[in-house]
Amino acid sequence: MMTTIGFIGGGNMARSLINGLLANGLSPESVWVAEPDEARRAELAASLGVQVCADNTTVVATVEALVLAVKPQQMQTVCEEIAATAQRHRPLIISIAAGLRLAALEHWLGAGLALVRTMPNTPALVQCGMTALLANAQANTEQHALAESILRAVGMTLWLDNEAQMDAVTALSGSGPAYFFLVMEAMQQAGEQLGLSADTARSLTLQTALGAATMATESSAPPATLRQQVTSPGGTTERAIGILQQGGLESLFAHALTGARDRSAELAELLGGGR
């Protein structure tokens, strides 16, 4: 029997996951979405063929795996609304909300449910995401595999050893796309200052970023080795890298990621009411 998967919330991340699941062969009839906005429900049903409704508990009672795809600030209200139904039907519950610890979800939903906390990043919207997962003790081997298969529909996945690592993941990959966008922005601006048109500087920047990421992904060598391989002694690349390192690029990134990790921990305390 095909697994039934439900979503509470039909926003961009939910849509991306659904698209990935359908592309991997899941039947639209096996996907349920609870979405309060009537226009969005109609659009999801028309464009994707999935089952839609306005009532969260209907979806909870129907599916084997439930993805909570609402904003972190809405999570407590949603969890408390579906808690009784979840306790009766006991689906695997997957949270894709940033900054909410398993203890907070367990407090709002009640004890004994299989929960998986995840941290996807925005490239999941184009099926190139990176998602870290962490399960509680109630999630069995089959539920681990099910959660991984759902998030793998939008990119790569990895499991964490403990929840303390989730704040570091948030700092590195959760916020990471913005760091690369900033670097691209700076490179494009520098190219324009050197006399290139905006379109030319943008095209050169984006394709260079894509090419470098592809090389790093397909190579077994670490980034430091790849950098050394393209840095000829006395050449232009060596001059530029030297200037970046003299400016403290590595220590600046370390400081930035530490700040992001600390802020992730602070938000978890705030959003989870100290849990």
Q: From CA 63, how far away is CA 47, in angstroms rounded?
A: 21
Residue range 204-223, pLDDT digits in tens: 999 999 999 999 999 999 99
Would you say 155 and 213 are in contact if contact means Cβ atoms under 8 Å apart?
no
* Per-residue pLDDT, 274: 72
Q: From CA 67, how far away is CA 95, in angstroms rounded?
A: 6
Domains parsed from the chain with CATH numbers? 5-166 (3.40.50.720), 174-266 (1.10.3730.10)
* Per-residue pLDDT, 1: 43
Q: From CA 11, how far away is CA 202, in angstroms rounded?
A: 29
Residue range 55-94, pLDDT digits in tens: 999 999 999 999 999 999 999 999 999 999 999 999 999 9
* Full-model pTM: 0.92
**What sign results for the dihedral spanned by CA atoms 190, 193, 198, 200?**
negative
Strand ordering across the sheet containing 31-34: 51-53, 31-34, 5-8, 65-68, 92-95, 115-119, 129-135, 155-159
Would you say 109 and 272 are in contact if contact means Cβ atoms under 8 Å apart?
no
Share of the chain above pLDDT 90, in %: 95
